[in-house]
A and B are shown apart, each in its own frame.
Chain A
Amino acid sequence: MLALLKMFIKEYIKDVWGAISSLLKGMKLTGYYFMHHNKEAITEQYPDNRKTLKMADRFRGEVVMPHDENNEHACTGCTACELACPNGTIKIITKMEPTPEGKKKKAIDTFVYRLELCTMCNLCIEACPTDAIKMDQTFEHSVFDRRLLTKKLNKPESKVREGIE
């Protein structure tokens, strides 16, 4: 009987000791991070760090159409991106343009891009045969007026670069 009681007390003390030590172990780790918070902190001070903040090159922010210094782009208005888009984000309005030979040729009039519908899935960029559009790394898209989210990607008076079919 006494032996049993002794064993019980022994087990009990062992349990209590194990419990306290397991708690202390965790507290030690928390204490370590409390003392070394400068080394381990990964918090970024956004928006104060806007100037130094750099997104990854492939980050998908919004679709843009790069123009060169002659105000020329590479979009032929083939509507491949419009067909590839799952959400109806892109609408391409085409026009007929006379060529120097006197024939008429299909060309792009307006590239309408609706940012509010876009899910940044990159399928339009994959579909583009002439690499006319690309993903930009901007991410601050909030505006006060919803209409501002409907964008016209080709700049006014811009035209297709020579030699792109």
Chain B
Amino acid sequence: MFEEVASTEQGDLVINIGPQHPATHGVLHLVITLNGETVKKVEPHLGYIHRSIEKMCESLSYRQFIYVTSRMDYLSSHINNHGCAMLVEKALQIEIPSRAQYIRVIMDELTRLASHQLWWGAMAMDIGALTPFFLAFREREMITDIMEETCGARLTMNYMVPGGIMYDIHPDFCKKVKEFIKHFRSKIDEYDELLTGNIIFQNRMKGIGILSKEDAISYGCSGPTARASGVSCDVRKIYPYEIYDQLKFDEVLATEGDSFARYQVRLVEMHQSMNIIEQLIDNIPEGEIQAKTKAVLKLPKGEFYTRIETARGEFGIYIVSEGGTTPYRIKFRSPGFSNLSALDHIVRGHKIGDMVAIMGTLDLVIPDIDR
């Protein structure tokens, strides 16, 4: 059943990539067995940024533990916070006002856009194109400015609280978001012009790093990585939360499962995110932004699980509560951890240069894997 564990033969070369290496996007350590230039085996060594957030959360109250999760997947920190707030609301059966729901969804999609933009630039840099990185950061800057104005921080927002959002949106928020969407719609065509059609890029992406549908499911992949292999796994569609069931958007699916499919899924997802924001931005209802909650939150005894679609895939929070003010046990199911486990399977037999490109399309964020 297993792929034969590749044994090191004479003439094989074992090299280390990382922990400090620009291609691994963080402190990921890969031990690679090479035969010539062909990858025989990849062995990830994790833990260089392990902070034991799960243990830490066991001593934090249900208001406090939300802020820690933005340190996990720092590119979709908003969505992580949202998931945690949703879990507390689900356990305590708090109805949150519709204004807060709308703002939450807009913020989620803006975060997804920003995350995919950064991925686009970083992935292009992995395969050796430097210009896209600067172009992507130029547009991403607009989103971080919007975030900074409304949430007060650029990366670790901590804007979600159990029961709603921390404070109301900035008066300029709607205007700036509309401006950004208009601007980005013209700029995303440049992305296509610069990279998607490029012959060198296509040759390095098409047919490389194929992940079949069965393997994607078996490896627990989620998010754009799995959807590029044809697995329908968008939590926003299958288990809709907040107001996603009232929105019109498509789940982006591809069937090829290669690097180029993963690339295109994310690019089309950016269009979908913009569609979602356009549907909502003019219709934010007036009203409260926070439901009334007690000062000290106590979850009832039991077990709770919530999932949410981050930019990288399905983020799950599992809490075992003993009825106190702090969780008894908390487990974060991070999308990057499962996606990384498929890396060894994908890259076997490819050249080492392709391995870096494949890792770029998996969109790994290391603090999310290590937790």
Contact = CB atoms under 8 A, between A and B. Distances in A.
Contact of B158 (A19, A40, A122): A122
A122 B152 contact: yes
A130 interface: no
A122 B167 CA distance: 11
Interface of A: 18-19, 22-23, 25-26, 29-30, 40, 42, 55-60, 84-86, 119-123, 126, 135
Interface stretch (B5-13, B18-26, B60-68, B97-105): B60-68
A59 B148 contact: yes
Given A25-B193, A42-B141, A58-B150, A122 B198 contact: no
A65 to B, nearest CB: 18
B133 to A, nearest CB: 13
Instruction: Among B148, B153, B161, B190, find the residue whose CB has the most chain A CB atoms closer than 10 A.
Output: B153
Contact of A23 (B68, B138, B150, B198): B198
A23 B166 CA distance: 48
Nearest to B154: A59
Interface string B66-77: 011000000000
Contacts of B150: 58
B1 interface: no
Contact of A86 (B60, B167, B190): B60
Contacts of A30: 131, 194
B55 interface: no
B63 A123 contact: yes
A42 B67 contact: no
Contacts of B193: 25-26, 29
A122 B64 CA distance: 10
B49 interface: no
Contacts, number: 70
A64 to B, nearest CB: 14
A33 to B, nearest CB: 8
Contacts of A58: 148-152, 167, 170
B77 to A, nearest CB: 12
Interface of B: 60, 63-65, 67-68, 131, 138, 141, 145, 148-153, 156, 158, 161, 166-167, 170, 190, 193-195, 197-200
Contacts of B145: 56
B199 A42 contact: no
B64 A123 contact: yes
A30 B132 CA distance: 10
Contact of B152 (A22, A42, A59): A59
B199 A19 contact: yes
Contacts of A25: 193-194, 197-198
Contacts of B149: 56-58
Given A58-B149, A58-B151, A18 B63 contact: no
Given A58-B152, A126-B161, A26 B68 contact: no
17 contacts: A26-B193, A26-B194, A26-B198, A29-B190, A57-B149, A58-B149, A59-B152, A60-B153, A86-B68, A119-B67, A120-B152, A120-B153, A120-B156, A122-B158, A123-B63, A123-B64, A123-B158
A122 B156 contact: no
Given A42-B141, A56-B148, A122-B158, A22 B67 contact: no
Contacts of B198: 22-23, 25-26
A86 B64 CA distance: 6
